[in-house]
Structure formats: C-alpha cells, structure tokens
Structure 1
Amino acid sequence: MSKVVLYYFDGRGHMESIRWLLAVAGVEFDEVLLKTREQFEKLLNDGSLMFQQVPMVEMDGMKLVQSKAILNYIAEKYNLHGKDLKEKVMIDMYAEGTRDLMDMIKIRPFLPPDEKKTKLELIQTKALERYFPVYEKALSVSQYLVGNQLSCADVHLLEATLMVEEKFPSILFTFPNLQAFQARMKTIPAISKFLQPGSKRKPQPDDGYVKTVKEVLRF
C-alpha cells in the first residue's frame, strides 16, 4: 500500500485536523509543502485538485479534496465514526461545532489588524457561551462525546480546546469535564506522541505562513 501524502502549506489551516486524525489512527504520512505558486499551478495543471483548492490528500489510490470529505473517509476507515447511523450523525454534529470554532481561529491571521482584536473577543465569547457548555454537558455522562468509544468528534474537540487555550490559557477553568477529557485524551499513546516536539503537528501560524499562503493563492 502506498504511503499517504498530504498537499498543503507548512502550517495548520484546513489540513491540521486531517493530520490529527491520521496521527490518532496510527497512519504514517508524508507531506508536500506548498511554498511557491509554481507548485500550486502544477497541481492545477495535473488535474489533481477537483475544485482548484487544497488541502489534497493522496490515499488509497485516490486524490481526495474537501476537508470534511477527507475527514469522514479517514474516520470511517479507521473506526472513528460510530457504530450506527444515529451515532454517526451525533458525531458529525459535535464535529461541526468544533470546526465552526476552529474556523474562527484559522481565519484570524488573515484579517486586517483592526479586525483581529474584535475576532479574538468573539472567539472567547463563542467558546464560553455557545460551544464549551455543549461539550461540558455531553462529557458529564460519558468519557466520550458519543457512544462508548473514541470517535473523530473527540479528536476534533481536543484539537479545538488546545487551540483556544493558546489564546486564552485559563478558559477551561469553569469546565471541569473538559479539563478531565483533555487529561484522558493526552494519555492515549498516539496523541501523546503527536503532542511531542518534532511531530508533524504544526505551530500557530506566523507572518511567514500568512505571506506564503497569500503568494501561492494570489489573494
């Protein structure tokens, strides 16, 4: 079986949740990091990008695009998507919530300076009032968000809470179930490994990352 290859920038963006899920599933992967417009145009000219955008993942003889489709494929393949249709839709609802929250964080580095502070305040408010209370309640009755086993929703929630904590280190103070959830998740060997320095987890975006993305995508 050929190795999984990820095509994206040297940063988080929409690929980071895919990296997380592959890491938890124990799947080794290589990365082609886009640094020039020419690299991107080659993918376009080769017909590799169905909708002329990344992320793109080469996996199982396919060139997969669209983040949610890629994540769902990985989750299904590696038993991270529930045992029946009802569990799957609950997992998807929880996962969509974390993606909504993470998307607000992902877009912030690309905003004009005067909008960044407003966006940061909105992220804090939404996390505290809309998102975290939902997950806190769900985790009051089970150690997993859905069913009795780890799912992609749990992985996305850990990623999301860690991202928010990077901006607001004490934000989980009033959410004891989320704190306990984080602690449990970090003991999973694959996650513990992914959180160590030198893994393929990407750091917070910096000015260099933003500059590269804008130059490659020409926006």
Structure 2
Amino acid sequence: MSQPTLYYFDARARAETIRFILKLKGVAFNDVRLKEIPAELKEKANFGQLPFYEDENISLSQSLAIESYLAEVHGLDGNTAVERALISQYVHATQDVYNPYFSANNEASNLKFKVETAPKYLTRFEQHLKAAGGEHFVGNRLTLADISVFALLDYFHQQTHNNLLEVLAPFTLLIQFYNKIAAIPSVAEHIKTRPTTRL
C-alpha cells in the first residue's frame, strides 16, 4: 500500500487541518511542499490548484472536501445526520475567519479583522463550545469540528507578525481547548517539527 500524498505550498494555510488529521490518526504521508505548481501537477490536479490529495482510492482537490473525506475514513465524522451537519457548520465557519484574514492587504483591513471579524467568530465559537460542555464541539468525542477549530486557533498562535495571540487572549475556554489538543503527542510532535512559515 503506497503512502498518501498531500501537495501544497510551503505554508500551513489551507492544508494544515489536513495535516493535523493525518498526524492525529498516525497516517504516514508524503507532505510535498512547493514554491509553485509544476505544469504536470497543474494538469493532474482536478482543478489545477492546491491543495491536492492522492491515496490508493481517490485523487481529490478542495481543502474542505479532502478534510471531509479523511474525517469519514478515519472516524472523525458524525454518527448521525445531525452531527454531520453540525460538524460541517463549524468547519465552514472557520473559513469565514480565514478568508478575510487572507484577503486583508492593508492596515485598515488588518485592523478590522483583529477588532471586528475575529472577535465576533471567536465569541461564537467559545459560546458553542461552552454550551456543548467545554470539551468537544459535537458529541462526546474528537471530530473534524474540533480539529478544524483547533487548526484555526493554531493559526492564530503562529501568526506572530500580526500578533493574533492578543486577539485570542480573552477567550480562555478556547485556549484551554487548544492546549488540550496541542498536547496530544502526535499533534505536539507535528507542531514542534513542522517548517516555520509565514502563512
């Protein structure tokens, strides 16, 4: 059985949740990090863009589709239609935080992200986590919802050039949640050994 391969740029950004899933489940994979997309890969990738994932069963583009597929394969999806819908809700909500951050290109848009957009969503995430018991977002076990929100919080921890940790600081329950998952040995090892990247 050949190892799965994940193709992405040398960054966390759209691929880090995928990496966390694979690391958490102990899946050995080829983490191919690129400066640009070679022509042959652009031709092979389903939509000519990254991330692009391949294993013995599937070739798949689009980060959320890859995450959803891996969650189902590795038992991180929901047990019911309601759980699966709630998980999808949280996964998509993280994109509403990432997208304005990635598109912020000046001081004003960066400031708006830090004082309006991020606090609005972090407040809701913390409220939902508290209402669910403080351990997991959906059900009583680790799911893609937890990993997706964890990856977002991890991104805040790593964006030192924009000091996003100060935005996260008031959200103590989310910080506790982050620290618990970050302490899982396979996750901790990945955080410790992954390349240091700006995004």
Give the TM-score category using the shorter length.
0.7 to 0.9
Q: How does 1:1-219 map to 2 (within 5 A)?
A: 1-36=1-36, 39=38, 41-45=39-43, 48-108=44-104, 115-124=105-114, 125-129=116-120, 131-141=121-131, 142=133, 143-165=135-157, 166=159, 167-196=163-192, 198-199=193-194, 203-205=197-199
Change over 3 Å in CA distance of 1:36–1:71 after alignment to 2: closer
Higher gyration radius (CA): 1
* TM-score normalized by the length of structure 2: 0.86
Contact 2:76 2:142 survives alignment (8 Å): yes
% same residue:
28
Q: In the alignment, which residue of structure 2 is the partner of 1:213?
A: none
Q: More relative contact order in 1 or in 2 (CA 8 Å, sep 6+)?
A: 1
- SS in structure 1 opposite 2:54? strand
Give the unaligned 5+ runs of structure 1.
Answer: 109-114, 206-219
Alignment size in residue pairs? 192
Structure 1 consecutive aligned stretches of length 4 or more whose deviation exceeds 6 Å: none
Change over 3 Å in CA distance of 1:126–1:35 after alignment to 2: closer
Give the unaligned 5+ runs of structure 2.
Answer: none
Partners of 1:123 and 1:81 in 2: CA distance: 30
Q: How many Å apart are 1:202 and its aligned residue?
A: 5.2
Q: How many Å apart are 1:19 and its aligned residue?
A: 1.4
- SS in structure 1 opposite 2:60? strand
Q: Which amino acid aligns with 2:119?
A: L
Cα deviations by residue, 1:15-49 (Å, 9 ceiling, x for unpaired): 22211221122211113333356x2x11244xx22
Change over 3 Å in CA distance of 1:71–1:36 after alignment to 2: closer
Partners of 2:85 and 2:123 in 1: CA distance: 20
